[in-house]
Amino acid sequence: MRLASRGSPLALAQARFVAQRLEAAQPGRTCELVIVETGGDRDQSQPLSVLGGQGIFAKEVQTAVLDGLADIAVHSAKDLPSSTPDGLVLACVPERRDPADGLVGRALAGLGPGATVATGSPRRRALLHDIRPDLNFVELRGNMDRRLALAGTSGVDAVVVAVAALERLDRADLIVERLDPEMFCPQVAQGAIGLEARAGDSEVFDALQRIDDTIAHRCVVAERAFLVGIGAGCTVPAGAWCTEESGMLRLRVVMAPSGGHAERVVVEGDNPETLGGQAAAALAHLVEGL
């Protein structure tokens, strides 16, 4: 079974994890990686907002599956566009890692007045500014090694990263502070791997169901439904985090308009698509001003 993936160290770690899970779930099954270069990989200089946000790390990986060069597209689920291309389905979400953001370099309490934080995420900037209006921000691009190396150099005091990314790379010891997702709401689907397959490919779909985490999948669907509802991608300062307990979903969402305070909404229910739509409707007044 062929797995299409970006070639970054994090993407490869995720793809190898998926391959191991698939091979363990079906003895005799073998997997191979198909490495794909995306538009986001080719252009490392421009801010993500300029490049168009979500989709720049996913489109070519999706195309490899649609064109028959691979059977499964392996993504960091937070990089997926809010809508799935015709011909593909989000068939599987394996168990999710910690969805929280973390600081490398210095903790919040250790950042002096006017300290500089590196992040390319409008959401992270807006939420940090809501907590610490004195902070300065600079752009952050490149693979994880490049990002981590920036902390403590070139006037940068701290770097914001996804906790799950460092966990997958066995570098979680570098995190000096985990930002509580109850208040510092993560990016939609952060910490999750999204696996897409061709619609109607029953053999691949059956294989993926063996490693699907039903709860994680439902939560990701709810978060993505919120993103669809506000009609936005990762260039908008919005986040969502869903958990499940006893069959009920709890979805926390946030939007932080430029120059304003972050607004948070919490909704509960059992239908992920409906829940995401309700959360989006509650913040619709903010979307109109973006």
How far is the C-alpha of 136 from the C-alpha of 150, rounded, in Å? Answer: 15
- Tokens describing residue 154: 């070139």
124 is catalytic: yes
Catalytic residue among 31, 92, 219, 234: 234
Catalytic residue among 2, 59, 132, 141: 141
147 is catalytic: yes
79 is catalytic: yes
Burial 200-229 (b: 16+ CB within 10 A, else e): ebeebbebbeebbbebbbbbbbbbbbbbbb
| C-alpha pair distances (Å), 212 with each of 29, 220, 237, 241 | 17, 12, 29, 19
Catalytic residue among 6, 21, 71, 78: 78
Catalytic residue among 21, 97, 106, 123: 123
How far is the C-alpha of 212 from the C-alpha of 93, rounded, in Å? Answer: 5
234 is catalytic: yes
Catalytic residue among 124, 125, 218, 252: 124
- Nearest 5°: phi and psi at 70? -150, 165
Catalytic residue among 71, 79, 98, 101: 79
Q: Would you please indicate which residues are annotated as catalytic (active-site) residues? A: 78-79, 123-124, 141, 147, 234
